[in-house]
Amino acid sequence: MADKGVAVARRRAVAVGAVLGSCALLVASVAPAAAHGTGAGHGTDAGHGTTAGHGRGGGHGGHGPGRAHRPRYVALGDSYTSGPAIPPQVDPGCARSGANYPSLVARRKNASAFEDVSCGGATTEQMWTAQGANAPQLRALKRDTDLVTLQIGGNDIGFGSIIATCAGLGAQAPAGDPCRSHYTSSGTDRLTVAIARTAPKIDRVLRAVHARSPHARVLVVGYPDLLPDDGSGCFPAVPFAAGDFPYLRDTEKRLNAMLRRAAVRNHAEYVDTYGPTLGHDMCKAPEDRWIEPLVPASPAAPAHPNAKGEQAMANAVLDRLR
């Protein structure tokens, strides 16, 4: 039975490597299944996001007691923001869902204007540079934008390649910690170094956001809980080695801690999505998980939030806005 489990894990690792070998491949893998939903920009400019003004409810946002404020909202980010494979897919080029957390927040806050330019595979560089046919994300910001959410950094540290590498190594030595050994073989943890090198990139993005939208409330959104917080594993369903589950958990926590510090340094607010998603990681049963495993059972990209996960992140953003 153990040999059978390892064989299954190896097959999954091969499949995951094909999907997550790069973030660009991740986007390509979900784009063909995308549905033509409503409210998306299908032109050559990703800045043609959705415009909301018909959502339910509204927040007060500090604009006077009893008066609902309808923000002019821009969402920036990567695939955790865009919601690949979650229906309806409103922009196949960026694997963007009309049910991702920015769309849910915009409807709940009854945004007077809403542009979601998040794009699967985005790094901090895509804030300034085009991503395929999609314009630089910062181009969506205006001087009258008054709410910005930013979720970025995972691809800067190599999210896709880390998942594929650890899945492949885990299938070969499921009882050990081959992924940790791989990334620390030089005596320095390369993922910790990658996070440190990403910090000034986040600083630069936040300075640019403030420059373009000087009156905006800026929220840096962290990443949700991907793996069991107690360090336990679920091989072969998620084919990481036993010792690599706590290593990858701690790596994500370091990434989120860096994002929190960057928010404080740059006069932004941090939204914790890790705490609110505890107990709903990719190792949980299908009915309980908000993050899909490497072979998703619900519409989502591998190792990404499903619709429940996007709703949980929306709730975290809305709680912060309140």
Burial of 122 (0-12, 13-18, 19+ CB in 10 A): buried
C-alpha span between 286 and 307 (Å, rounded): 12
End-to-end alpha-carbon separation of the chain, Å? 51
Annotated catalytic residue 298: no
C-alpha span between 245 and 224 (Å, rounded): 15
C-alpha span between 299 and 225 (Å, rounded): 18
DSSP single-letter state for residue 187: S
Please name which of 13, 4, 12, 75 lies closest in space to residue 41, comparing C-alpha atoms.
75
Name the catalytic one among 69, 82, 280, 304. 304
Annotated catalytic residue 79: yes
Question: To 5 degrees, how large is the angle CA 283–CA 309–CA 303?
Answer: 45
Helix-, strand-, coil-residue percentages of the chain, each rounded to 5? 40, 10, 45
DSSP per-residue string spanning 245-272:
HHHHHHHHHHHHHHHHHHHHHTT-EEE-
- Backbone dihedral region for residue 110 (phi beyond 0: left; psi -120 to 50: alpha; all else: beta): left
List the structure tokens of 48: 């043609």
DSSP single-letter state for residue 69: B
Name the catalytic one among 29, 69, 79, 118. 79
C-alpha span between 197 and 157 (Å, rounded): 8
Catalytic residues: 79, 304
